[in-house]
């Protein structure tokens, strides 16, 4: 494996290797060994052409705990905002000797373009591209589910997961559907018809329009953010109506299975897709998802960069 662009790049066994490695790294970091020398001398560039808090600092923390050198590069304050092309940026990074580029970009497919051309030789890690994929988020979600609900199993066989909300614009949902079904979970998407993507009937999932029917049947419920920045049309009549039908509130939390967990990739719109008491309830693992994210990203960086350099393209 040279790049991580899509969950489709991973076999089931590779995905499980990432989760196992992350579990071991989490155990080491929880103990007294905070920093590992594994990536000493390697340079990792965080190229963020779109705003991000969690993913960027999570990748930065992961790289630093593995002793890599990190260069942060965001659209604001760089030549990207002067209209520099992706190609020129990539060649600049190559000239500076970047061993890996973690890229977040508003255009779907930008990481593929970076990896598929000969612009640079380093590994490319997709940290979210447009409305396409966000593989490291799906891996940390699967890790969190396995830790809480896996009962010691390697995969997620038989687990029932609901993903609720803005599926249409969500790269998190796309990557999660691919990964969770690969690991044996059963996924139900819950959204108003306007927020479901075209062709969703060909996905390996169940679709529902009624959150209250789905709630008592799941082991994990993942609420998605309403992505106002990508909404250029009117997808639902009002925020209040959306909250009433598709928001997670106290009554719905009480209707969940006793062991079910509440997840959200962040950032949350409190009061819209999730109420404050749902987000802060004892069932919520939203804050833990962030700390799991560091371990999972350490595993990704170690497995992509820790060994001998791989020549050639994907896999």
Partner 1 sequence: MKTVLPAPDMSRAIVRIAHEILERYDGADSITLLGIPTRGAHLATRIAAAINAIEGGQVAVGTLDTTMHRDDLRTRSPKALLPTLIPPAGVEGRHVVLVDDVLFSGRTIRAALDALGEIGRPTSVSLAVLVDRGHRELPIKADFVGKNIPTSRTEIIKVNLVEVDGTDEVTIAEGGSK
Residues tagged active-site: 54-55, 82, 104, 134
Which residue among 12, 27, 87, 240 contacts partner 1 (CB under 8 A)? 27
Q: Which residues in 252-311 contact partner 1 (CB under 8 A)?
A: 302-303, 306-309
- What is the closest distance, in whole angstroms, from the C-beta atom of residue 309 to partner 1 in the complex? 8
Which residue among 35, 87, 240, 250 contacts partner 1 (CB under 8 A)? 35
**Closest alpha carbon to 66 in 237, 298, 307, 304:** 298
Determine the interface stretch with partner 1 among 30-38, 130-138, 230-238, 278-286 (rule: CB under 8 A).
30-38
Strands of the sheet containing 69-74, edge to edge, are 69-74, 43-48, 100-105, 123-129
- What is the closest distance, in whole angstroms, from the C-beta atom of residue 26 to partner 1 in the complex? 11
Token code pair at residue 184: 């044996």
- What is the closest distance, in whole angstroms, from the C-beta atom of residue 156 to partner 1 in the complex? 19
Nearer to partner 1, 271 or 306 (CB): 306
Q: Is 30 in the site for partner 1 (CB under 8 A)?
A: no
Q: Is 20 in the site for partner 1 (CB under 8 A)?
A: yes
Strand spans (E) along 84-196:
100-105, 123-129, 160-164, 186-190
Phi-psi region of 86 (alpha: psi -120 to 50; beta: other; left: phi over 0): alpha
Strand spans (E) along the chain:
43-48, 69-74, 100-105, 123-129, 160-164, 186-190, 206-208, 220-223, 261-263
Rounded Cα distance between 74 and 95, Å, is 18
Contacts with partner 1 by CB under 8 A: the residue count is 20
Q: Other C-beta atoms within 10 Å of 311: how many?
A: 7
Nearer to partner 1, 27 or 244 (CB): 27
Q: Is 37 in the site for partner 1 (CB under 8 A)?
A: yes
* Interacting residues toward partner 1 by CB under 8 A: 17, 20-21, 24-25, 27-28, 31-33, 35-38, 302-303, 306-309
């Amino acid at each position: 494996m040279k790049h991580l662009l899509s969950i489709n790049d991973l076999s089931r066994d590779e995905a499980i290797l990432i989760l196992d490695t992350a579990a071991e790294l989490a155990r080491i970091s929880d103990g007294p060994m905070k920093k590992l020398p594994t990536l000493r001398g390697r340079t990792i560039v965080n190229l963020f052409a779109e705003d991000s808090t969690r993913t960027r600092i999570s990748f930065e923390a992961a790289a630093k705990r593995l002793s890599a050198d990190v260069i942060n590069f965001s659209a604001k304050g760089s030549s990207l905002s002067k209209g520099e092309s992706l190609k020129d940026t990539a060649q600049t990074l190559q000239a500076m000797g970047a061993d890996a580029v973690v890229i977040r970009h508003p255009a779907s497919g930008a990481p593929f373009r970076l990896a598929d051309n000969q612009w640079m030789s380093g590994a490319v890690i997709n940290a979210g591209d447009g409305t396409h994929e966000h593989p490291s988020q799906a891996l940390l979600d699967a890790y969190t589910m396995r830790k809480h609900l896996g009962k010691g199993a390697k995969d997620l066989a038989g687990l029932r997961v609901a993903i609720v909300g803005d599926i249409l614009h969500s790269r998190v949902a796309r990557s999660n559907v691919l990964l969770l079904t690969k690991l044996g979970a059963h996924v139900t998407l819950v959204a108003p018809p306007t927020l479901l993507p075209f062709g969703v009937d060909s996905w390996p999932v169940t679709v529902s329009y009624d959150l209250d029917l789905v709630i008592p049947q799941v082991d994990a419920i993942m609420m998605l953010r309403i992505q106002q920045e990508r909404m250029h049309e009117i997808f639902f009549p009002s925020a209040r109506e959306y909250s009433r039908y598709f928001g997670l509130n106290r009554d719905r939390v009480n209707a969940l299975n006793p062991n079910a967990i509440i997840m959200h990739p962040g950032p949350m719109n409190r009061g819209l897709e999730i109420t404050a008491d749902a987000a802060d309830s004892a069932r919520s693992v939203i804050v833990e998802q962030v700390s799991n994210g560091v371990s999972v990203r350490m595993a990704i960086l170690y497995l992509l960069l820790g060994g001998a350099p791989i020549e050639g393209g994907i896999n």
